[in-house]
Amino acid sequence: DIQMTQSPSSLSASLGDRVTITCRASQSMSSYLNWYQQKPGKVPKLLIYDASTLQTGVPSRFSGSGSGTDFTLSISSLQPEDFATYYCQQTYSTPYTFGQGTKLEIK
Amino acid sequence: QVQLVQSGAEVKKPGASVKVSCKASGYIFTGYYIYWVRQAPGQGLEWMGWINPNSGDTNYAQKFQGRVIMTRDMSINTAYMELTRLRSDDTAEYYCARGPSSLYGMDVWGQGTTVTVSS
């Protein structure tokens, strides 16, 4: 199985900050990497697929990059609605494992 | 609009089985895989497997092999996930989600079904 490790596990930031979350895979997986946002009590929402392609309707302040084993999710200017938990997921080989999540909190 | 609507909450005893349904609407059911993901209370997301509604082919995470059965009924655009021999650590929110292929992620999710396993 491909293990996905996110860092940090939690992050405190202020409105307007730029933040970056990292996801590292235990083996190379091309660009089969997705990012999801989940707010408390809500369903996960797809933000980015294919490592860097923004899902329709997702604000452009979100961006993704990387290939192989190292990937990042960046949010350029934090808005109040961005405080949530973020998960990476690889869909290169089954089982399609998720990272453990990064909780983004307001400083 | 495109949506996946799941069946309601379930309470089961250890050793029992649960079957969760996921009804698709607003798109061509056979054109997208249906994935199942679960989330234990306060925990992260765990991928359980997928079913190809067109062929009926399935792929299960090794962890659930022998305990999970994913099926579909094309006549009513509904996918099912049955989990057998339930244990207390199967208590979780269960989600279905769709995706066109592995490259594109899971773009539409059901609302979730709470399964509680308790004696």
User: Of the candidates A44, A49, A91, which has its C-beta nearest B45's C-beta?
Assistant: A44
How does pLDDT run across A40-65, given as a tens digit for each residue? 999 999 999 999 999 999 999 999 99
Distance between CA atoms of residues A73 and B99, nearest Å: 21
- Backbone φ and ψ of B88, nearest 5°: -60, -30
Quick check: B111 and A55 CB within 8 A? no
Count of Cβ atoms closer than 10 Å to residue A44 Cβ: 24
Distance between CA atoms of residues B104 and B95, nearest Å: 18
Count of Cβ atoms closer than 10 Å to residue B68 Cβ: 17
- pLDDT at residue A82, as a whole number: 97
Q: How far is B1 from chain A (nearest CA, A)?
A: 15
Q: How far is CA B6 from each of CA A4, A40, B51, B97, B113, rounded to the nearest angstrom?
A: 28, 19, 16, 10, 6
How does pLDDT run across B36-82, given as a tens digit for each residue? 999 999 999 999 999 999 999 999 999 999 999 999 999 999 999 99
Q: Cβ contacts (< 8 Å) between B46 and chain A: which residues? A: 98
Confidence of residue A1 (pLDDT cuts 50, 70, 90): very high
Distance between CA atoms of residues B1 and A25, nearest Å: 35
Q: Which tokens is A49 given? A: 């697929």
How does pLDDT run across B12-38, given as a tens digit for each residue? 999 999 999 999 999 999 999 999 999
How does pLDDT run across A63-87, given as a tens digit for each residue? 999 999 999 999 999 999 999 999 9
pLDDT of A31 > 80? The answer is yes
Give the residue from chain A lying closest to B113, CA to CA: A43
Q: How far is B9 from chain A (nearest CA, A)?
A: 15
Distance between CA atoms of residues B60 and B103, nearest Å: 18
Quick check: A32 and B102 CB within 8 A? yes
- pLDDT at residue A63, as a whole number: 98
- pLDDT at residue B29, as a whole number: 97
Q: Cβ contacts (< 8 Å) between B105 and chain A: which residues? A: 34, 36, 46, 48-50, 55, 89, 91
Contact B50, B1 (CB under 8 A): no
**What number is the average pLDDT over the span A81-106?**
97
The answer to whether A87 faces chain B, any CB pair under 8 Å, is yes
pLDDT of A90 > 90? The answer is yes
Secondary structure of chain A: what % helix, strand, coil (to 5)? 5, 50, 50
Q: How far is A34 from chain B (nearest CA, A)?
A: 6
User: Are β-strands A102-106 and A10-13 bridged in parallel, bridged antiparallel, or unpaired?
Assistant: parallel
- pLDDT at residue B65, as a whole number: 96
**What number is the average pLDDT over the span B84-107?**
95
Which of B38, B47, B96 has the highest number of chain A CBs within 10 A, making it the mutation to test binding with A?
A: B47
Q: Which tokens is A2 given? A: 């491909």
User: Of the candidates B61, B105, B111, which has its C-beta nearest A49's C-beta?
Assistant: B105
pLDDT of A23 > 80? The answer is yes
pLDDT of B102 > 80? The answer is no
Q: Could you tell me which residue, B23 or B103, shows the higher pLDDT? A: B23
Confidence of residue B103 (pLDDT cuts 50, 70, 90): confident
Calculate the average pLDDT of chain A.
97
Which of A32, A46, A71, A100 has the highest number of chain B CBs within 10 A, making it the mutation to test binding with B?
A: A46
**What number is the average pLDDT over the span A35-42?**
97
Quick check: B45 and A89 CB within 8 A? yes
